[in-house]
Amino acid sequence: MPETVFIKNLKDNVDKEVKIKGWMYNKRGSGKLFFLQLRDGTGIVQAIVSQNDVSSDTFQTADKLTMESSLELIGKVTKHPRHEDVFEIQTKEIKIIQIVNEEYPISKKEHGTSFLLDNRHLWLRSPTQRAIQVIRNTIINGIYEYLNKKGFIKIDSPILTPNACEGTTDLFELKYFEEGSAYLSQSGQLYLEAAIFSVGRCFDFGPVFRAEKSKTRRHLTEFWMMDAEAAFVEHDENLKIQEELIVSIVKKILKENKKELKTLERDIEPLKKIESPFLKKTHAEVVKELREMGSDIQENHDLGGDDETILTKKYDKPIFVEKYPAEVKAFYMKRDPENENLALCADLLAPEGYGEIIGGSEREDDYDKLSKRIKENKLPEGIFDWYLDLRKYGSVPHSGFGIGMERLTAWICGRKHIRETIPFPRTIKRLIP
Amino acid sequence: MPETVFIKNLKDNVDKEVKIKGWMYNKRGSGKLFFLQLRDGTGIVQAIVSQNDVSSDTFQTADKLTMESSLELIGKVTKHPRHEDVFEIQTKEIKIIQIVNEEYPISKKEHGTSFLLDNRHLWLRSPTQRAIQVIRNTIINGIYEYLNKKGFIKIDSPILTPNACEGTTDLFELKYFEEGSAYLSQSGQLYLEAAIFSVGRCFDFGPVFRAEKSKTRRHLTEFWMMDAEAAFVEHDENLKIQEELIVSIVKKILKENKKELKTLERDIEPLKKIESPFLKKTHAEVVKELREMGSDIQENHDLGGDDETILTKKYDKPIFVEKYPAEVKAFYMKRDPENENLALCADLLAPEGYGEIIGGSEREDDYDKLSKRIKENKLPEGIFDWYLDLRKYGSVPHSGFGIGMERLTAWICGRKHIRETIPFPRTIKRLIP
């Protein structure tokens, strides 16, 4: 019995007889010859079934095969007569695992988004959706690799929390035994700030939640964040770490996911331009530039989604927008020593109209200043006592940032809607499947 | 200005002048000589401050330093005169970042658990707690490395779900806009089963939740699970993957975390015995063995915590307990073809009294059988339609398993309570910090 081989490993098995286990994706031909497209999760291969080379049982089986039917196929691996790096199977035998009798709901024709999302458990099988998940996986591995190399330790921050990182609006609330309400975390940052005093540098990677009623293509109620935090790292070094991380991820994708980028019809020229140094502009500079481009953005306002779009379409490199007005940013950000009204922060905007993929800042490390800001922001008293303790017992300068996994994946994959980048998207109207 | 160096890298800087940024962990000496223990998150080093070698300012600074004060220290790296692989700093200059004036709450004396958990944000700094997190990080990396090598793709399964994997009891419930209730996931398994039809093999790693009122040392309300799922993998191969994974993790820990294991006073001899093959016993065999050892376990019962303890103290290898009575296991498990009353499942029990660290099974792949079980278990109708679809469109044999990250970490670290193995534990009485 020949060995079972993954389709991605066929190149190492030329002229050998192998077994493929997978699903039928497509079929052409009739009469004396069938061309089956098989997929097994690692790739797609064409298997040629010639009436002259197989038993009549196997030929009839090939005839019967319907889309998404599961099967085992035995045959010899050959090089494609013309295309470099393409392999085929000369079929000897086919064994059906399950024949699909009902018509598979997702055909080649165009379906509406709502239908596809209702059938997300099946839609995931399509080559584009598979490619997005494979690229997402490479991004995750790229983050781990870079952060490990730089001495960051994974610290899994909690989801059930009594407080909110950036205020208490838009939180999912639940009853927590006799302790009153718990809220689902919007960010693990505050917890990572505690952990840097233990391990120096750390990161988390997990789901976060926003009960926002936004329905834009950039919003999900549940999404994945990677937060990183480092002791003794100040604003400029914080940006340098982010820049190196993004450059290393894009290089890894270009190297490891050529096929998936092609499946997605992603133009890779813009990705090839992602090199150090990124652009760096202050919020004030960006406001001026945007107003010249026709935006009505005010000097003391955050950038809107449309502002990010027009700005990032103008340049072919990611842009750090730094030093936002402190009033539009979170209470824990350190102020610019040169201007108390500005936060020592930066958002990283991805090019091609994608906008924010990272938000970060140096953190306020002075007990009195932080305590005053908590009061000014009318945050619940007592609940941040532990967070203030970090400024009491050996406070140090420190900085961090958070990457929105779906926004980063959408940009790298060149997809418009972030709902395609997470396996099972959750929006205000969608909890199933 | 000398370069800032992590303590873990001092070995590469012998005879060089370096800068260390960190916290004072301990101090001995007086008069003309101080021995400072400094920690920076990557290790601990002794810095010697001799009155003859430093300015009077620096010597007075050393005198003033209190526990957990943050500082920068410049000095020359030397080898310890007697101990191999130990390095010291001959101090030239000290700059205080923040002197701790209040007494640090966690002193060297014994504290009660409740006090330590109230101060978890500070307790994390202690060498034992740091060591546990560093080992947890190595375990996480070990899981990623092994699964990547075996072709598993990370698929982030959702937390907000309309249904429960193993019934609807003990779930955290929350209001989800106009869609009714959502529940926090207990396992991503069902979603991974959908994803294998896209990527073949996949895994998730994220928080899961149980609103159980259990107060044992083995329970948390929020904990981390790694679920893996693979198409075309049947029961025996499923166990082989788990065995290889555990062996590779333990080898990695023994190689990379010698210092941390020593800090924890972990006896590493039992870990060195973790080699293939593991023991494999059926549930029926284990019940017989336990009854001979004095347990009152019944033939059709699950193993209790005490049963797992006495059984796993008897052997020095992990034990697969397979083929439990189907009635005590989840509805989605495939039945043993040789005995319809048994599930084609196995729990992996860690030695030294630790008990279950993995639960897994082959999954039912037949539409009619699965549909019948959903009805028998009185699970809500309709909600599993998408899950049943997976048995309608190209069903394949498949298996998977879930690792409880905290139980695995507790065993490897040799800790009794799993609450120490997660950065910020959540129990029925604890939501802060």
Residue of chain A whose alpha carbon sits nearest to that of B124: A198
pTM of the model: 0.97
Cross-chain Cβ contact B129/A426 below 8 Å: no
Q: How far apart are CA B385 and CA B389, in angstroms?
A: 6
Kindly tell me if the per-residue pLDDT of A415 is higher than 60: yes
Domain check: are B64 and B189 in the same one?
no
Which among B4, B154, B405 is the nearest to A137, CB-wise?
B154
A195 and A333 co-located in one domain: yes
Q: List, as ranges, residues 117-156 from A with C-beta within 8 Å of B.
A: 119-122, 124-125, 129-130, 133-134, 136-137, 140-141, 144, 148, 151, 153-156
**What is the overall mean pLDDT for chain A?**
95
Q: What is the pLDDT of residue B205?
A: 98
Domain membership of residue A115 (yes or no) is no
Is position A429 within any domain? Answer: no
Does the distance separating the beta carbons of B124 and A396 come in below 8 Å? no
The answer to whether residue A26 sits within a structural domain is: yes
In B, minimum Cα distance to A106 occurs at: B393
Q: What is the mean pLDDT of residues A412-422?
A: 96
Residue A93 lies in a domain: yes
pLDDT band at A167; cut points 50, 70, 90: low
Same domain, yes or no: A43 and A132: no
Say whether A431 and B162 touch across the interface (CB within 8 A). Answer: yes
Three state DSSP letters for chain A: CCCECCHHHHHHHCCCEEEEEEEEEEEEEECCEEEEEEECCCCEEEEEEECCCCCHHHHHHHHHCCCCCEEEEEEEEEECCCCCCCEEEEEEEEEEEECCCCCCCCCCCCCCHHHHHHCHHHHCCCHHHHHHHHHHHHHHHHHHHHHHHCCCEECCCCCEECCCCCCCCCCCEEECCCCCEEEECCCCHHHHHHHHHHHCEEEEEEEEECCCCCCCCCCCCEEEEEEEEEECCCHHHHHHHHHHHHHHHHHHHHHHCHHHHHHCCCCCHHHHCCCCCCEEEEHHHHHHHHHHCCCCCCCCCCCCHHHHHHHHHHCCCCEEEECCEHHHCCCCECEECCEEEEECEEEEEECCCCEEEEEEEEECCCHHHHHHHHHHCCCCCCCCHHHHHCCCCCCCCEEEEEEEHHHHHHHHHCCCCHHHCCCCCCECCECCC
DSSP string, B166-198: TBSTT--EEE-TTS-EEEE-S-SHHHHHHHHHH
A:B CB pairs within 8 Å = 262
Does position A214 have pLDDT exceeding 80, yes or no? no
Tell me how close the Cα of B409 comes to any Cα of chain A, in angstroms. 13
Residue among A270, A297, A272, A275 at smallest CA distance from A286: A297
Task: Judge whether A113 is closer than 8 Å to chain B, CB to CB.
Answer: no
Average pLDDT of the residues in B342-348: 98
State which of A98, A129, A159 marks the end of a domain: A98
Question: Are residue B84 and residue B142 in the same domain, yes or no?
Answer: no
Residue A186: predicted pLDDT: 92
Which residues of chain B lie closer than 8 angstroms to A174, CB-CB? 172-174, 184
Q: Determine the pLDDT at residue A380.
A: 81
Instruction: Give the model's confidence band at B163: pLDDT under 50 very low, under 70 low, under 90 confident, else very high.
Output: low
Of the three residues B39, B64, B98, the one that is the final residue of a domain is B98
> Any idea how long chain B is?
433
What is the distance in angstroms between the Cα of B377 and the nearest Cα belonging to chain A?
20
Per-window interface: A 216-235 vs B, CB < 8 A = 221-222, 224, 231-232
Same domain, A65 and A168: no
* Same domain, residue pair A236 and A277: yes
| A206 vs B129, B196, B207: nearest CB | B207
Q: How far is A272 from chain B (nearest CA, A)?
A: 25
Q: How far apart are CA A275 and CA A269, in angstroms?
A: 12
Average pLDDT over residues A40-49: 98
**Mean pLDDT throughout B322-346?**
97
pLDDT at A166 over 60: no
pLDDT for B164 equals: 56
Residues of B in Cβ contact (< 8 Å) with A100: 392-394
Instruction: Count the alpha carbons within 13 Å of B216 in the hemisphere toward its beta carbon.
Output: 8
- Tokens (6 digits) for A229: 């935090």
Q: What is the CATH number of the domain that holds A34?
A: 2.40.50.140
Average pLDDT of B180-199?
96
CATH number at residue A348: 3.30.930.10
In-domain check, residue B223: yes
Q: Do A349 and A214 reside in the same domain of the chain?
A: yes
**A14 and A60 within one domain:** yes
Contact A153 B141 (CB under 8 A): no
- Is the pLDDT score of B251 beyond 90? yes
| Residue where one domain finishes, among candidates A39, A67, A98 | A98
Domain identity same for A195 and A77: no
Put simply, the answer to whether A68 touches B393 (Cβ < 8 Å) is: yes
Q: Minimal CA–CA distance to B405: which of B59, B121, B133, B77?
A: B133
Asked whether residue A428 is assigned to any structural domain, the reply reads no
Residue in B194, B394, B423 closest to A100 by CB: B394
pLDDT of residue B6: 98
- Count the Cβ atoms, other than its own, within 10 Å of residue A340: 9
Is B184's pLDDT higher than 80?
yes
Of residues B382 and B144, more confidence is placed in B144
Give residue A30's pLDDT: 78
Count Cβ atoms within 10 A of the Cβ of residue A263 and give its class: 0-12 exposed, 13-18 middle, 19 or more buried: buried
> Would you place residue B167 in the very low, low, confident or very high pLDDT band (cuts 50, 70, 90)?
low
A194, A392, A431: residue with CB nearest B176:
A431
Mean pLDDT of B224-229: 98
Q: Is residue B420 a contact partner of residue B411, using CB atoms and an 8 Å limit?
A: no
User: Do the domain assignments include residue B325?
Assistant: yes
CB contact under 8 A, B395 and A231: no
Is residue B58 located within the same domain as residue B143? no
Domain housing B158: 120-421
When pLDDT is cut at 50, 70 and 90, the band that residue B253 belongs to is: very high
Shortest CA distance from B213: residue in chain A: A177
Q: Percent of chain B at pLDDT above 90?
A: 91
Check pLDDT > 60 for residue A233. Answer: yes
Rounded (5°) CA angle A178-A384-A193: 115
Q: Give the per-residue pLDDT at A1.
A: 85
Specify whether A135 is located in the same domain as A90. no
Q: What is the ipTM of this complex?
A: 0.97
Residue A35 maps to a domain: yes
Give the pair of three-digit tokens for residue A379: 């945050």
Nearest CB partner across the interface for A41, out of B23, B201, B206: B201
Average pLDDT, stretch A62-87?
A: 96
> Which pLDDT does position A165 carry in this prediction?
52
Model confidence pLDDT, tens digit, residues B142-154: 999 999 999 999 9
The number of distinct structural domains making up chain B is 2
The most confident of the ranges B102-111, B127-136, B373-382 is B127-136
Q: Do B386 and A432 touch (CB under 8 A)?
A: yes
Question: For residue A41, which residues of chain B lie inside 8 Å, CB to CB?
Answer: 196-201, 231
> What is the spatial distance between Cα A184 and Cα A171, in angstroms, rounded to a whole number?
7
The CA distance from B388 to the nearest CA of chain A, in Å, is 10
Same domain, A57 and A159: no
Query: pLDDT tens for residues A335-363?
Result: 999 999 999 999 999 999 999 999 999 99
